[in-house]
C-alpha cells in the first residue's frame, strides 16, 4: 500500500478516535525500527541520535531504549534544548537521559571502531519547508560524517529535508542509507528525485492504523506481498515440475555472462537448465559452466524451440552477430521469453516489431542505458520521466512486462499495479548482476509464476541477496560481485519466507 503523507496523518487521527494513543503508536514504531536495525546490524555498535523536538525524536528515543538493552552505545546530538521537546519525547528523554551522553561535536566519535549509525530523528512528515538554523546544521553534519567516516545514516519515517508534497529535496537534505518508514510507504519516498536521499526503503507497519484510501495502482514490494506468489513444492515434486529453462547467451569474450545467467536460473529453483551456444564457443563454455547446466551446441538458435522448455532467456553476452536468427526466434516463440542485454540492443538497432508479431508473454529487463537506446525507437518515450516511460511500455505492448533496473527498480505490466522494488545496495553497480537476475526471473517463470510476479519477486530476491552478501557476509560495496550475489540467493529466499524486512 502506498499513501500520501496527508493520508498517513488522517489514519493516525482515525486511530486516536478509536482509542489508540500517540504513545502506544510510538512504542510500536520504535520497537519495529530497532528490529529492522538488528537485521542489518546484528552486532552492537554505536548509535548517534539526531533529535529535533517532535514525535520523530520520540521514535528515535524509543529505538534507543531497545538498542541500549541490546548492548549498543548511544549518544545524542540535540538540535534544541531538551526543554523544547514536545510531551512524548520529553517524557522519554527524562527516562533515558542518564544513559545517553549528549555530545557537542560528532567528530568526538571519528576514532571509534565498529559500526556507527546516525539516526535521523530531526523532523517528520509534518515539516515541508527548508531546514534552517540548527536543523540545517545537524543535517549537513550527518551528511559530512557519512562521507568522511562512512557512518550509516538511518532516516526515521522520512529523510529530514525531503518535501512531503513531491519528493523533491530541499537544501540541505539528509542522505540516508536506509529509510525506515512507519505505518505505510509514503508516495514521496518513491519519487525519482528522492531515491538518492531515501536509500534502502524498509516498512514498519502499525497494526492500529487503517487507511480509507490508498493508491491501488502502485505498490512497494515487500515479503508479505511477494511470499504468496512463490509456489510451494509438493513432496513428490521432480525436476520436470520445477521448470525447464532455456538460455541463449554468451559469445567470445563474454562467456561469463552465460555462466552467470545459468547459475541464476539454478539458484532460482529451475529443475533443468539448458544453455544453447554456437560451435565457436561450445568447447570453451562447456568446460567452465556449472556441471548442473546442460550445454547444447546449435547451428541455429531457433532450434531451442524444438525442445520442451517452459521459458527461454535471451541476451546476456550474446553479441549482435546472429541478430536475424534471434529476432526471428522472438517473433515465433509461443513460450515466455526473458529478454536482456544484447537482445534489447537488437531492438534498439532494428526496432521493436518483433514484440508485436507474437503475443506470448515477454519480460524486458533493461538497465537505464539500454532503456535509453530503446527510447530512441519511440519518439514519445524520449520526453517521459522514468516512471511514465515504464508505465507506457505495456500500454503500447500489452504482452510485455517491463523490469526497468536502477537504484529503485520498477516493474510494470498491463492490468497490474506499478511496482517499486525496495531491496538493493549501491554495491550492485557492477557487471554481471543483471545476468544473474535474468536467469533468476526465468527460473521463477519456469516454476509457474506469471511473468509479472516473477519480475517482482526476482528483483526483490536479487537485491536482498546483494544486501545479505554485504551486511551478513564478508563483502563490501567495493568488493561485491555477481558471484557473491549468487551465493546469497538461497538466504534471500529464506528471508522472504521469514518475512524479514
pTM for the model stands at: 0.96
CA atoms within 13 A on the CB side of 296: 20
- pLDDT given for residue 382 in this prediction: 85
Lookup result for grid cell 557537542: 104
Nearest residue to 311 via CA among 366, 362, 355:
362
3-state secondary structure 383-431: HCCHHHHHHHHHHHCCCEEEEECCCCCEEECCCCCEEECCCCCHHHCCC
- pLDDT given for residue 213 in this prediction: 67
Which residue stretches of the chain have pLDDT < 70? 213-214
| Residues ≥6 apart with Cβ < 8 Å to 454 | 363, 441, 444, 445
Q: Nearest 5 degrees, angle CA 266-CA 269-CA 273?
A: 45
d(C-alpha 492, C-alpha 485), whole Å: 10
Residue 17: what are its φ and ψ, rounded to 5°? -65, -25
| Residues ≥6 apart with Cβ < 8 Å to 184 | 1, 2, 3, 8, 11, 203, 205, 209, 211, 214
Q: Are the beta carbons of 365 and 347 closer than 8 angstroms?
A: no
Question: What residue ranges define each of the domains in the chain, with the CATH number in brackets?
Answer: 2-216 (3.40.50.10260), 235-497 (3.40.1190.20)
Nearest residue to 136 via CA among 201, 55, 50, 197:
50
Q: Are the beta carbons of 461 and 496 closer than 8 angstroms?
A: yes
- pLDDT given for residue 134 in this prediction: 97
Lookup result for grid cell 510494470: 412
- pLDDT given for residue 209 in this prediction: 86
Number of H helices, E strands in the chain: 17, 19
Amino acid at each position: 500500500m502506498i499513501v500520501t503523507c496527508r493520508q498517513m496523518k488522517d489514519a493516525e487521527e482515525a486511530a486516536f478516535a478509536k482509542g489508540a494513543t500517540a504513545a502506544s503508536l510510538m512504542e510500536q514504531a520504535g520497537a519495529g525500527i530497532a528490529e529492522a536495525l538488528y537485521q542489518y546490524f546484528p552486532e552492537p555498535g554505536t548509535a548517534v541520535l539526531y533529535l529535533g523536538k517532535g514525535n520523530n525524536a520520540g521514535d528515535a528515543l524509543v529505538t534507543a531504549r531497545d538498542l541500549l538493552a541490546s548492548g549498543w552505545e548511544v549518544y545524542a546530538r540535540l538540535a534544541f534544548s531538551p526543554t523544547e521537546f514536545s510531551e512524548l519525547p520529553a517524557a522519554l528523554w527524562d527516562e533515558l537521559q542518564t544513559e545517553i551522553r549528549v555530545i557537542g561535536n560528532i567528530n568526538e566519535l571519528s576514532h571509534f571502531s565498529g559500526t556507527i549509525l546516525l539516526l535521523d530523528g530531526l523532523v517528520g512528515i509534518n515539516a515541508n519547508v527548508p531546514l534552517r538554523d540548527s536543523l540545517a546544521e545537524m543535517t549537513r553534519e550527518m551528511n559530512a560524517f557519512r562521507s568522511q567516516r562512512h557512518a550509516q545514516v538511518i532516516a526515521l519515517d522520512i529523510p529530514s529535508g525531503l518535501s512531503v508534497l513531491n519528493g523533491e529535496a530541499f537544501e540541505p537534505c539528509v542522505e540516508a542509507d536506509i529509510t525506515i518508514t512507519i505505518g505505510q510507504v509514503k508516495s514521496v519516498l518513491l519519487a525519482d528525485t528522492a531515491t538518492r536521499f531515501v536509500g534502502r526503503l524498509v516498512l514498519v507497519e502499525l497494526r492500529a492504523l487503517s487507511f480509507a484510501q490508498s493508491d491501488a495502482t502502485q505498490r512497494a514490494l515487500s515479503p508479505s506481498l511477494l511470499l504468496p506468489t512463490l509456489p510451494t513444492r509438493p513432496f513428490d515434486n521432480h525436476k520436470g515440475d520445477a521448470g525447464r529453462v532455456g538460455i541463449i547467451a554468451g559469445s567470445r569474450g563474454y562467456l561469463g555472462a552465460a555462466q552467470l545467467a545459468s547459475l541464476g536460473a539454478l539458484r532460482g529453483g529451475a529443475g533443468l537448465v539448458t544453455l544453447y551456444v554456437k560451435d565457436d564457443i561450445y568447447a570453451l563454455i562447456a568446460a567452465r559452466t556449472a556441471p548442473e547446466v546442460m550445454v547444447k551446441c546449435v547451428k541455429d538458435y531457433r532450434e531451442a524451440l524444438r525442445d520442451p522448455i517452459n521459458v527461454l532467456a535471451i541476451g546476456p553476452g550474446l553479441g549482435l552477430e546472429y541478430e536475424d536468427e534471434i529476432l526471428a526466434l522472438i517473433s515465433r516463440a509461443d513460450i515466455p521469453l526473458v529478454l536482456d542485454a544484447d537482445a534489447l540492443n537488437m531492438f534498439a538497432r532494428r526496432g521493436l516489431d518483433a514484440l508485436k508479431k507474437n503475443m506470448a508473454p515477454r519480460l524486458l529487463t533493461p538497465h537505464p542505458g539500454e532503456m535509453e537506446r530503446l527510447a530512441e525507437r519511440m519518439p514519445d518515450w524520449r520526453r517521459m520521466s522514468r516512471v511514465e516511460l515504464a508505465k507506457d511500455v505495456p500500454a503500447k505492448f500489452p504482452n510485455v512486462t517491463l523490469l526497468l533496473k536502477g537504484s529503485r527498480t520498477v516493474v510494470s505490466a498491463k492490468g497490474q499495479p506499478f511496482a517499486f522494488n525496495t531491496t538493493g545496495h549501491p554495491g550492485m553497480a557492477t557487471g554481471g548482476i543483471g545476468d544473474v537476475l535474468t536467469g533468476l526471473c526465468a527460473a521463477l517463470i519456469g516454476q509457474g509464476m506469471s511473468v509479472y510476479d516473477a519480475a517482482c519477486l526476482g528483483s526483490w530476491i536479487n537485491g536482498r541477496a546483494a544486501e545479505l552478501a554485504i551486511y551478513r557476509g564478508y563483502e563490501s560495496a567495493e568488493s561485491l560481485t555477481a558471484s557473491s550475489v549468487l551465493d546469497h540467493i538461497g538466504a534471500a529466499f529464506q528471508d522472504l519466507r521469514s518475512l524479514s524486512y
